[in-house]
Structure 1
Amino acid sequence: MVDLLLNLQAPHRHLVEVTLRLVPRTPVLRLRLPAWTPGSYLIRDYVRQLEGLEAHQGQRRLALRRLEPSCWELVCDPTAGALQVRYRVMASELTVRTCHLDSEHGFLALAAVVLELEGERWSPHRLRLQLPEGWRPFLTLPQQADGSWLAPDFDALVDSPLEVGPHREHRFEVRGVPHRWVTWGGTPEQGDWLLQRFPTLLDDVAAVAESCCRLMGSGPPPCRDYLVVLHLIDDGYGGLEHDHGTVLVYGRRALETPDGLRKLLQLFGHEYLHQWNVRRLRPAELTPIDYQRPPIVPTLWFAEGITSYLDQFLPLLAGRSTPAELLGDQGEDLSRYRLTPGRSVQSLRESSQEAWVKLYRADAYAADSQISYYLKGAVLALVLDLHLRRHGSCLVAVLRNLWQGLGQWGRGYRETDLLAAFAAAAPDLAALLPAWLDGLEDPNLDGYLADAGLQLSAVAAPHPWIGLVARSEAGQLMASRVYRDGPAEAAGVMVGDELLALEGRRLREPEQLGSWLAAGQEQELLICRRGQLRFLQVQAQPPRTERWKLEEQPQATPEARERRQRWLGLLPC
């Protein structure tokens, strides 16, 4: 048994005081802090926030020898009683995968807090908390009679997100399984604002959760209970899945838009569906987790792409959105995909394998050389769904078969398992799917959409194309993106340049740049780079497609319209 005490009683310092206590089994013990947290594929080096590490056995302080940046070794006496390890963790970064502690709340991703003790990974871990007066803890571990929480092993401990604060908890059930919803919005009143703004929110969330259960055909959800923690901030979007809960971040400004609630329900649905696809039906490379090194997971296109495709259907299946809204959301994704040049540079399998070094470290030039496995995976999911329908099946049927054969038993899958499952439903996918994963050419998307009486229509930009995205900052117009092989790049513009004037006219807003461009003519662009003025000659090209719209084909046959209706309901043909 490992005893863990977290002291959060001085939140204004943003420091978590950590004490680990155990009876050592061996004379040499190694301690490691995880470098990443499952579900977020980036080495985060949490050790950056660790300070003041020391170990004691009785009255004797033990020497710690650092073997690696996040690994220490100490020599102790297994017969001399309990060993105590104490340290502090700085909690000042507010994301779903890091730690944040201030006078209003605390959130801890425990992979960033708890040292893994050699030989104790599969031992029970007991957690105790010391909190400011009036604060409550919210976590997914079972609470014991003495007020502590017990995790069966280290993995279960770090899989439990921990939110603390003077928050209110709201409860509902999904197929008999208890669910809790906790919102932190800066103050308890801000947390209540969400339910005041959307009085039916909990019913909407429960309906989306119910639609996940129906989609998977699995009866109740696989969790014993479920905790939803929402961080409601001015602007933000994201989530992280856990076996028995999720942490979401969402923007208040987004909720004020017509699509805001639907997008929040999609975000919740995405993380909720991960209970099946990712947490239990999981890549074999993540079984077990290696918390120190990044495993290459070539099937992230399935784990995240399939889920990203299906999450847009969940509000519709729950009766909380319309078919027109779904087409709009699908169209946004397809438009973003077609307008991302990196899809012709990085394959979908490469995107999955390179997640650790590319997707989460994207810079201003990233879109020219890479594509998100979330986005391209969702587009492939659409293609697979429509292709399977030509064979009398559908994507959900394949997902259910994988769940029943592997997921519900906790068996990890390899890519060969996925390929076999798709080929069993449509034999030609045995050759097509690997080609789509490895190739840079798009499948015949227009042909597949036509099967369901749908089409993508191009919407031209109102101004000539310069291959440049600019944003206004404090009265200055700055180049925030320069397209590869575009007119701005050819002229010598770089990201970070200040755009001062075009043909002698002062530039201050992006709209001015667009409206003053003349296609096919050389124009003089004055920029400032690192404090020096430069004149560049730029020649804009005719307007390009600004976006794509997914629409119903006016000439669609009755059979295509019927296929569209069944697709909207995720039903097989």
Structure 2
Amino acid sequence: MQAAKPNIHYQVTLSSIAGHTFDVKLTIDKPNISGQVLSLPAWIPGSYMIRDFAKNIISIAAKDDAGNTLTIEKLDKQSWKLPPTAKKAHVTYQIYAYDLSVRGAYINDEYAFFNGTNMFLAVEGQTQQPSSLRLVKPDSAKLAHWQVATTMPSHHPLSHQFGEYWANNYDELIDHPVLMGEFDIIPFSTSGVQFELILAGGHQADMARIQQDLSIICQHQIDFFSDQPPVKHYQFITLLTDNAFGGLEHISSTALMYSRKDLPSPYQQGKMTDGYQVFLSLCSHEFFHTWHVKRIKPEELFEASLDSEKYTEQLWIYEGFTSYYDDLSLLRCGRITQDEYLKIMSKNLTRLLCNKGRFKQTITESSFDAWTKFYKQDEGAVNNIVSYYNKGAVVAMCLDLSIRLASNKQYSLDDVMRHLWFNHGKVNVATHPTVIHDIVRESLGLDLSDFLDAALYSTEELHFENLLSQFGVDVINQVKDNIDDKGGNINKEPLLYDFGALCADKEIGVAITQVSEFTSAYEAGLQVGDVLIAMNNWQVSKASIKHIINNLTLGQTSELIVLRDKKLKKLSFEAKPTQHDTIYLNINNPQLATSWLG
């Protein structure tokens, strides 16, 4: 129930579907008598990039309780100031909402979705005060069947009604995304938590199967932390499109975007497709964040203001560890097999080895530079930066195996995670940059500082081959089977010579989308955006590149015909040996492998 009487009141009305606008009314019972400052966040927690949500405010006006106009002074791109008044202040503003993403606000004819960071002006000096939110039901008869999905507290939990909601403070207010519209609800419960999978956008999915699988995954993660879950109600709010992917964690929910065609259909009769496995992994990842990000937090992001960047080198702990456990959880609760899990890990390792940026940027630098490099990737990203998600997951695996070996399998990374929960997340204590060093040394009694220092603060290669071999897993380094080979399979018909670029088919030729350093394509001078028309006098398509390359001889020089900025160019391409950067993991000792994989 509501803890205290709110002093700040918001009201949201869907004003136009065609214009994609919300009308918001903010009432402040006790504005600052010296002039009340209002502001909108510049970024949303969990997505480390300045997004300037205030740019979507179309208009703003204010009156006092007597109906007198209050002249608003704009202080900067995201802040406003009301003049002094002893009466209540009523601020009305309109939001443009056409950002179809997990971090934005979006309106179409089937639903309206928003994050609080896009919608709710903060009342400076009163952000610790409780607030109320009224969601106004659209008056159109066509929208009479619309419902609401949010985990924000209300007098009618789980009823999906329009009406009154509340939050204890501003941080809570903006941490409950809201969906209004047409959607399917898949409920399930476990360990006293009421879960709901919300599917908006239309689908033909096997809802019973998803319900069963998600229930098992959520139960596993609750059991993993060996404690009462920190939530009583949790929603997976999922916006389905033809082709989308994304997730953003919140205090008791997650906003997801996914391709409806990759959800399981009844006719598949229980088959685990790659698309469905990725969906379950995404749900697993975001639910794990309920503990690890939303409650276990780095000190730099602990109660961080949202007006400017907040830098931390700890994102490898939070996104990297979560990226390790998301798929491992699927294995541990029987949703995928050991072979299927190792295929996923093979792809993660392949992705890292194909990333030349790992030689230029450490994983802690990657974390610190997330605002400007990871979230603003350009065509050179593969050559210049490393992902704290991808490399972080590989570091987590190596750390897990190292702990198991050093402790004679008495401890694992699981013990580190539970320490993080009980000594940080549960008791509201932020983590510091050397927290993993300290837990391993002080709580587990192990000295892995040399490994951690090298993994975190240098660009040295991670020696995962040796670690995996001690758990009965062979690491087989192969050449690519084709230019898009992501690893995970034994390659029987390899690409004989190096290419080094990714591409997409055009009506004639292929468009170059990525060029890796120190490859034949790179040395030939191919650039992102080029249209490669012919190679060795043969017109190319994505499917034909392998055939053309495999008919060359080592050292042979071929001519590339390229269209660049509507100019025809001829480049010289030399056939060189392919790199062994594609990984296949194979179990050679099931007993040893099971001591890790369970």
Please tell me the TM-score bracket, short chain as reference: over 0.9
Which amino acid counterpart does residue 160 of structure 1 have in structure 2?
Answer: H
Please point out which of 545, 550, 565 is paired with 2:585.
Answer: 550
Q: C-alpha distance in 2, partners of 1:179/1:493?
A: 50
Please point out which of 409, 412, 428 is paired with 2:447.
Answer: 428
Q: What do the CA deviations read for 1:184-210 (whole angstroms, capped 9, x no partner)?
A: 024xxx3xx22xx35221121011000
Please point out which of 155, 159, 163 is paired with 2:179.
Answer: 163
Equivalent residue number for residue 500 of structure 1:
533
Point out where structure 2 has 5 or more consecutive residues left out of the alignment. 1-6, 139-143, 157-161, 265-271, 481-494
Equivalent residue number for residue 385 of structure 2:
370
Q: What do the CA deviations read for 1:435-460 (whole angstroms, capped 9, x no partner)?
A: 21001012321110011011211232
SS at match of 1:6: strand
Tell me if structure 1 keeps the 8 A contact 2:324–2:397.
yes
Equivalences for 1:250-399 in 2 at 5 Å?
250-255=258-263, 258-390=273-405, 391=407, 392-399=410-417
Tell me if structure 2 keeps the 8 A contact 1:482–1:495.
yes
Which amino acid counterpart does residue 68 of structure 2 have in structure 1?
Answer: R
Q: C-alpha distance in 1, partners of 2:496/2:54?
A: 49
Tell me if structure 1 keeps the 8 A contact 2:135–2:163.
no
Please point out which of 395, 408, 411 is paired with 2:426.
Answer: 408
Q: C-alpha distance in 1, partners of 2:526/2:210?
A: 47
Tell me if structure 2 keeps the 8 A contact 1:9–1:130.
no
Equivalent residue number for residue 55 of structure 2:
48
Residues 1:460 and 2:485 aligned together: no
Equivalent residue number for residue 220 of structure 2:
211
Equivalences for 1:112-191 in 2 at 5 Å?
112-132=118-138, 133-144=144-155, 147-186=163-202, 190=203
Tell me if structure 1 keeps the 8 A contact 2:254–2:286.
yes
TM superposition shift of 1:475: 3.7
Tell me if structure 1 keeps the 8 A contact 2:520–2:576.
yes
TM superposition shift of 1:9: 4.5
SS at match of 1:95: coil
TM superposition shift of 1:427: 2.9
TM superposition shift of 1:487: 2.4
Tell me if structure 2 keeps the 8 A contact 1:29–1:76.
yes
Equivalent residue number for residue 10 of structure 2:
4
Q: C-alpha distance in 2, partners of 1:198/1:134?
A: 21
Residues 1:200 and 2:218 aligned together: no
Residues 1:86 and 2:92 aligned together: yes
TM superposition shift of 1:432: 2.6
- Normalising by structure 2, we get a TM-score of 0.89
Q: C-alpha distance in 1, partners of 2:152/2:373?
A: 34
Please point out which of 450, 468, 471 is paired with 1:449.
Answer: 468
Which amino acid counterpart does residue 455 of structure 2 have in structure 1?
Answer: W
Moved more, 273-282 or 7-16: 7-16
Q: What do the CA deviations read for 1:483-528 (whole angstroms, capped 9, x no partner)?
A: 2232223222211111122233323x12323322324112111111
Tell me if structure 2 keeps the 8 A contact 1:388–1:426.
no
TM superposition shift of 1:10: 2.7
Equivalences for 1:513-532 in 2 at 5 Å?
513-517=545-549, 518=552, 519-532=554-567
Moved more, 373-382 or 84-93: 84-93
Residues 1:97 and 2:103 aligned together: yes
TM superposition shift of 1:141: 1.1
Q: C-alpha distance in 1, partners of 2:414/2:386?
A: 25
| Corresponding residue pairs, total | 552
TM superposition shift of 1:463: 3.8
Tell me if structure 2 keeps the 8 A contact 1:55–1:64.
yes
Tell me if structure 1 keeps the 8 A contact 2:23–2:92.
yes
TM superposition shift of 1:173: 1.0
Q: C-alpha distance in 1, partners of 2:463/2:536?
A: 43
Equivalent residue number for residue 234 of structure 1:
242
Q: C-alpha distance in 2, partners of 1:25/1:303?
A: 38
Q: C-alpha distance in 1, partners of 2:311/2:375?
A: 15
Please point out which of 25, 31, 38 is paired with 2:32.
Answer: 25
Residues 1:35 and 2:42 aligned together: yes
Equivalent residue number for residue 244 of structure 1:
252
Q: C-alpha distance in 2, partners of 1:317/1:262?
A: 14
TM superposition shift of 1:271: 0.7
Tell me if structure 2 keeps the 8 A contact 1:301–1:377.
yes
Q: C-alpha distance in 2, partners of 1:254/1:124?
A: 41
Which amino acid counterpart does residue 451 of structure 1 have in structure 2?
Answer: Q
Which amino acid counterpart does residue 89 of structure 1 have in structure 2?
Answer: I
Tell me if structure 2 keeps the 8 A contact 1:15–1:89.
yes
Tell me if structure 2 keeps the 8 A contact 1:349–1:437.
yes
Q: Percent identity?
A: 29
Equivalent residue number for residue 594 of structure 2:
565
Residues 1:512 and 2:544 aligned together: yes
Which amino acid counterpart does residue 437 of structure 1 have in structure 2?
Answer: L
Which amino acid counterpart does residue 489 of structure 1 have in structure 2?
Answer: Y
Q: What do the CA deviations read for 1:110-139 (whole angstroms, capped 9, x no partner)?
A: 101111111121111100012332211111
Q: C-alpha distance in 2, partners of 1:506/1:212?
A: 52
Please point out which of 522, 532, 542 is paired with 1:489.
Answer: 522
- Normalising by structure 1, we get a TM-score of 0.93
Equivalent residue number for residue 533 of structure 1:
568
Moved more, 12-21 or 137-146: 137-146
Q: C-alpha distance in 2, partners of 1:388/1:510?
A: 44
Q: 1:473 to 1:242 in 2, by over 3 A?
A: same
Q: C-alpha distance in 1, partners of 2:567/2:105?
A: 41
TM superposition shift of 1:434: 2.2
Q: 1:510 to 1:137 in 2, by over 3 A?
A: same
Q: 1:255 to 1:547 in 2, by over 3 A?
A: farther
Q: C-alpha distance in 2, partners of 1:259/1:48?
A: 38
Moved more, 358-367 or 377-386: 358-367
Which amino acid counterpart does residue 209 of structure 1 have in structure 2?
Answer: C
